[in-house]
Amino acid sequence: MVRDHKSKNRSRKRGESGISQDKSFDMEAWQPKTEIGKKVKKGEIVSIDEVLDRGQRILEAGIVDALLPDLQADLIEVGQSKGKFGGGKSSIWRQTQKKSKEGNKPSFGTVAVVGDGNGYVGIGRGKAKETVPAREKATRQAKLNLIKIKRGCGSWECGCGMAHSIPFKVEGKCGSVRVVLSPAAKGTKLCAEKECQKILKMAGLKDVYAKSFGQTKTKLNLVYACFEAVKKLATMKVSEKDVKRAGIVGGRNE
Ligand SMILES: [Zn+2]
C-alpha cells in the first residue's frame, strides 16, 4: 500500500520546462459531469475522434485527459514584462492592474497550447489574480478547444505524399493580423514566428512556411490568427483525389 502511494507522488512531478503535466490523470477519481464524459468513463467512447468527428463540443477537460494521455502543454509568450530597463522582454504573462478601493489589483493572463504532436492541437486563454490558476485555466480552455487537423504534403517541390506538412495553403485572421501557412518541402522545418512554431509543433507539423501580416507585435492576435489558420486544416473538406495526391492524414499518423 505504502509503495503505491509513493509511486503516485512521483508521477505528479512537473515537466522539464516547469509546465505542469498532470500525468497522473486519475480515471477512477474522475467524476464526469457531461454526457460525453460519462460515456468516456464507462468505456463507451474510446477515441477522441468519436467526439470530434461528430462535431460535438468538449465541455470538460477530463474527456481529453482520458482519451489523449500523451497530450502536452506549453505556454505562449503573449505579454511583455515590465523589467528594469524599460521592460519589453517577452513573457508568458499579460499583466493588468485594476484600481479598486483596496488599491491596485494585479491580474495575470496567459495563453496555453496543448497538443499530442500527432494531429491534435488546441489553444486557450486564462486570467486570474495569481499565475498558477491562470495557467491552469488556460490549459483547461486549450483542451476544450482541441481540434483534429489534416496533414499531408501539398508542396509541389516535394510531392512525397507523406504527412510532414500541410496539404494546402490556409489562412487565418485575428484583429489586424493575418497569418498564411503554406506547404513546405521536407527538411524546410517550421519557418514561422517563434510563438506560432509552438502551435504548429504541437499539432505535429514538421515543415511549414508561415507568413504574417499586420500588427504582428501584438502576439495575442498573432497566435490566434495562426490558430485560426490551423483550424482550417480541421474543417476544410477534401476530395478523394486530394487525399491520394497529398497523402492527407486526419488526426493521428500511425
Ligand atoms: Zn513532402
When pLDDT is cut at 50, 70 and 90, the band that residue 250 belongs to is confident
In whole angstroms, what is the distance from residue 137 CA to residue 121 CA? Answer: 16
- Pair type for strands 190-191 and 170-174: unpaired
Q: Would you call 213 helix, strand, or coil by DSSP?
A: strand
- 253 CA distance to ligand 1 centroid (A)? 14
As residues whose CB is below 5 A from the ion ligand 1, the structure lists 153, 158, 160, 186
Name the pTM for this structure. Answer: 0.85
In whole angstroms, what is the distance from residue 142 CA to residue 41 CA? Answer: 21
- Pair type for strands 79-80 and 94-100: unpaired
* Topology of domain 149-250, CATH: Ribosomal Protein S5; domain 2 (3.30.230)
Q: Which residues contact 162 (CB under 8 A, 6 or more apart)?
A: 152, 153, 186, 247
Q: Which three cell numbers stand for residue 207?
A: 515543415
In whole angstroms, what is the distance from residue 177 CA to residue 19 CA? Answer: 28
Q: Is 112 a residue whose pLDDT tops 60? A: yes
Q: Which three cell numbers stand for residue 66?
A: 482520458
- 191 CA distance to ligand 1 centroid (A)? 15
In whole angstroms, what is the distance from residue 151 CA to residue 203 CA? Answer: 9
pLDDT digits (tens, 9 = 90+) for 10-41: 333 444 444 445 557 899 999 999 999 999 99
Q: Which residues contact 253 (CB under 8 A, 6 or more apart)?
A: 118, 119, 151, 163, 204
pLDDT digits (tens, 9 = 90+) for 74-101: 999 888 766 655 566 788 888 887 777 7
Report the pLDDT value the prediction gives residue 80, as an integer from 0 to 100. Answer: 76
- CATH class assigned to 72-147: alpha beta
- 154 CA distance to ligand 1 centroid (A)? 7
Annotated domain spans of the chain:
2-67, 72-147, 149-250
- 182 CA distance to ligand 1 centroid (A)? 12
